[in-house]
Structure 1
Amino acid sequence: MIELTSKQRKELEKAAHDLQPVVIVGGAGVTEGVIKMVDSSLSAHELIKIKFNEYKDEKVELTNKLCEETDATLVRLIGNVAILFREKEDEEE
């Protein structure tokens, strides 16, 4: 997990503005499947949104768990949507 400066955080928020949530946390909560989906989405996109349809009261704890499990950084938690960022390992592109 990397530490973001306020300037980096603001730039990532701008970049995420038009993104649609790629992972939705529903009635089953944060399962192994959700963690794998977040991990693969971060590998493909670097910056993703996660929407909490359920467990809204626990979204901070669940988001922190997702960040720890996937080595991602929380950019911002706005309403019931979390924005996560993880740099790609290979910088070939």
Structure 2
Amino acid sequence: MLTGKQKRYLRKEAHHLNPIFQVGKSGINKNMLDQLDETLEKRELIKVSVLQNNFEDKNDLAEQIAKGTDAYIVQIIGNIIVLYRESLEDKQIDLP
């Protein structure tokens, strides 16, 4: 579990990032979770954009992604979900 201090630090680090993935009307599927998993292993911190044609709750989507990839939800702001998972092989971010 992330502490408040760690979440603040990760929000600061994620500020300049652009969303890499988009969740559209088809929602989340196994292939998307696999791609998210690989990307989290390489980058550790990513943003996912929820498109307006997706009518699911973004909090539910964030929970599904976090559970499917073993990641932590750092922040949900607007239609953007920020996720973090410590990399096993390619560690880049040192949490406070």
Q: Select the structure that is richer in helix.
A: 1
Query: Contact (CA 8 Å) 1:49, 1:83: kept in 2 or not?
Result: yes
Aligned CA RMSD, in angstroms, stands at 1.6
Give 1:30-41 correspondences, 5 Å limit. 30-41=28-39
TM-score relative to the length of structure 1: 0.89
Query: Contact (CA 8 Å) 2:25, 2:55: kept in 1 or not?
Result: no
Stretch of structure 1 that moved more, 23-32 or 56-65: 56-65
Structure 1 residues without counterparts, runs of 5 or longer = none
In structure 2, the CA distance between the partners of 1:22 and 1:91, relative to structure 1 (3 Å rule), is closer
TM-score relative to the length of structure 2: 0.87
Query: Contact (CA 8 Å) 1:42, 1:85: kept in 2 or not?
Result: yes
In structure 2, the CA distance between the partners of 1:92 and 1:85, relative to structure 1 (3 Å rule), is closer
The question of 1:78 aligning with 2:77 is answered yes
Q: How far 1:56 sits from its partner (Å)?
A: 5.0
Q: Which runs of 4+ in 1 moved over 4 A?
A: none
Percent of aligned positions that are identical: 34
What residue in structure 2 maps to residue 5 of structure 1? 3
- Number of equivalences: 91
